[in-house]
Amino acid sequence: MIDVNEFKQDVQRFLKIDYAVNLDIAKTYQKYNAISKAVMIRIIDNWNKTCEVYSKNKQSHYFSAEFLMGRALGNNLMNLGIYEDIKKALDDMNIDINDVEEIEEDAGIGNGGLGRLAACSMDSAATKNLPVTGYGIRYSYGLFKQSFKDGFQVESADNWLKYGDPWSIRCDEDIVTVDFSDYSVKAVPYDTPIIGYGTKNINKLRLFKAEPINEFDFNAFNNQKYKKSVEEKNNADNISRVLYPNDSTDTGKILRLRQQYFFTCAALKDIIKKFKKYHGSDFKLFSKYNAIQLNDTHPVSAIPEFIRILTNEEGIDFEDAWNVTVNTFSYTNHTIMREALEEWDTKLYKNLLPEVYSIIKKIDSRLIKKLQSAQYGYDKINSMRIIYNGKIKMAYLAIYGSHNTNGVAEIHTSILKNRELKDWNELYSKRFLNITNGIAPRRWIVLCNRELSSFITELLKSDSWITNLPLLKNLEKYADDEQVLNRFLNIKRIKKVQLSQYIKIHENIDINPDSIFDIQAKRLHEYKRQLLNAFAILDLYYRIKENPEINIVPRTFIFGAKAAPGYVRAKAIIKYINEIAKLINNDSSINGKIKVVFIQNYGVSYGEKLFPAADISEQISTAGKEASGTGNMKLMLNGSPTIGTYDGANVEIAQEAGMENNFIFGARFEELEKIKKSYDSKEYYNTVPGLKRVVNTLIDGTFDDDDTGIFEDLYNSLLESTKTDKADNYFVLKDFEDYRNTQCRVNKAYKDRMSWARKCWINIANSGKFSSDRSIKEYADEIWHIHPHKW
């Protein structure tokens, strides 16, 4: 319970203290900050108590380069169980809580599924009372803010801190120093509370900001060397300035390496300091009290850095340090894509981090001896070495230096064990396991779809499903209840109307809430095949033009995606889709049968509007390329059948909810493996009806790429092989016809409203497996060996 009158007084006090304004003239962002601080002062005691309890027991430390947290206020109020109380208090103060929530910026410390998984994991750990602390970087700016100009993606700074950050606390007492070969910086921790649902426990996300040892060189300034006077500050600021800086040159690569080492070094020093405080200096006990999870390869420098600290600073023998390290660390692999199996030029490590590099060389030598003792041949040893041919293979370092490596979906883990990391699995078969990803039900249905959440609670006569998602299975008994299904359809339309209004405000585009909302919202990458979706849309448009009486349910295709600034081909796909949208949306002759919308600046908050409103969930990555996906789970939970390949978590979604309640298409991984060497994309280009017509729009003048040549490059990537890539590397042309036919099945199925509602309902009822509460418990039980602690 909360004292509403005290809360209102605190809000007004913070407005006066921070901004010298009264409530009646305060701006919305000022109200947001004051409200957030009024909540913060009510949780500090619980937060401190939780930290005290956790410190005495074994803890897990989650290292991640990104945490895609989303907005904090609404989620925190919900998890604290005071949302309605605060809403009423704000109503009394003539403050619209929706306006206040909307002014909050998404925290710019994450980008894609990897970062959102980290955020969901933190939410679930707190909710399950598990002692887990997140470690990362407090970026001053996020990836970027996306807008479109003439259909092209335009990037601008994501200044998520422009209104301040009322949810974090600077902890100067825990500042540590991080040393590079050329200069040193301070790592300043900022702590953010992670509030669990229905518990007094409050976990911690600790993010480090880089600051200079010396803020300002007065003598240089006095000698009128103005740039030099702030050079040290600028060097430090750059480390934590931007999430994923462009690394197309060595300068960018060095900055990325600095970032990775900066936060892992700082985090390790922080953990070691606490270990010594509470448990003494016997590092043989370290893994008894600490587990460290590496979320992909970005934090893998922690392994040699930990050994460096133990051997160089704590005086521990290398072999003893190695054993402590292996027993402490574990590694999550998120994808088989090249960028996840990260490699670094040895010269960069050697020049920037010479002591760490020397440790990696020792680890590599140790591995060679182990492989030789196991009678491995010369070629096989070279293929498994951590340092080889001028490269450091970070995934190999992670596997060798940890006691567990996990994939994030059943099929993904199988591919890792049987193909990508087959040699490692044969060497360390007991180290490999699967933990299928999950999502936090609190944010992804309770917060973003209150209407559906309330209905589920009404039907189940309890809200315990919110922390025990498999209880949704009990909804199956209503799968043929027309009254229930009609109420579900009414809720779905409410969410579609809400999204339509939001898109009108933010994109200035009118969309029809009675059309099928076909949504593909995720990172823009060739393997995710937004291009396949675009080709199918254009083909449908041409078929409507040829046959205006074609019997289809009106459909709105909604895309949301950012392309990395240096990823030219991904940016070309965005431009191409926007060109298609311009053609279709301005053609009145098709009577609004289809519409295409590419929303700008897709992120967590936009996703909270998109997922509850979706009718169909596009999960069409090339089979074998998508590790898991979590967007597919969010859409499933909100009642959207999947149209997708048999890949990633789609496999398990189809297993849980039934193939008949989803729309699986396309070549499977095993087939693609067999044909990839002999695959000829031109065969499909020349023989599949309608395919050549849409592909040729890339070069025949139908669409304008402003003479950049990016459309021609897309065209060539589909039909012409190069030294490094085969034509149509992601099998867009091969899967086109099956995808088109499956979309026709979607159209037909949607017309039978009760049958369609039943598919949606069965998906909701069988989404229980995909809770991050389940996945975090598996990490806790099978990898970290930690236990819940309450007070």
Q: What is the crossing angle of helices 732-751 and 753-765, to 10°?
A: 110
> By three-state DSSP, how is residue 671 classified?
helix
Choice among 256, 522, 525, 571 that is catalytic: 522
Q: Give the whole-angstrom CA distance, residue 763 versus residue 633.
A: 10
Pair 210, 240: CB distance under 8 Å: yes
Amino acid at the residue 432: F
522 in catalytic set = yes
Catalytic residue among 206, 523, 593, 595: 523
Using CB atoms within 10 Å of the CB of residue 47, give its burial: 0 to 12 exposed, 13 to 18 middle, 19+ buried: buried
Question: And the tokens for 692?
Answer: 């050549």
List 127, 405, 630, 742, catalytic entry: 630
In SS3 terms, 614-648 reads as CCEEEECCCCCCCCCCCHHHHHHHCCCCEEEECCC
Out of 334, 487, 496, 769, pick the active-site residue: 334
CA distance 416 to 336: 7
Q: 378: Cβ–Cβ under 8 A, 6 or more apart, which residues?
A: none
Question: Which one-letter DSSP state was computed for residue 196?
Answer: P
d(CA 781, CA 433) in angstroms, rounded, equals: 13
DSSP string, 124-139: HHHHTT--EEEEEE--
- Please give the C-alpha separations between residue 785 and each of 332, 503, 640, 731, in angstroms, as whole numbers: 16, 46, 36, 42
Query: What is the Cα–Cα distance from 195 to 185, expressed in whole angstroms?
Result: 31
Q: Find out whether 622 and 647 touch, Cβ atoms under 8 Å.
A: yes
> 634 catalytic, yes or no?
yes
| Number of H-type helices and E-type strands within the chain | 35, 21
Active site residue 334: yes
Asked whether the beta carbons of 395 and 340 are under 8 A apart, the reply is yes
62, with CB counted inside 10 A (0-12, 13-18, 19+), is buried
539's enclosing H/E stretch is helix 530-546
Which of the following is catalytic: 31, 634, 758, 774? 634
Query: Is 467 in the active site?
Result: no
DSSP 8-state symbol, 676: T
- Among 209, 431, 492, 528, the active-site one is 528
DSSP label at 396?
A: H
Question: Is 279 an active-site residue?
Answer: no
Does residue 328 contact residue 783 with C-beta atoms inside 8 Å?
Answer: no
Residue 523 is a catalytic residue:
yes
User: Where do we find the tokens 């339509």?
Assistant: 500
Could you list the active site residues?
A: 334, 522-523, 528, 630, 634
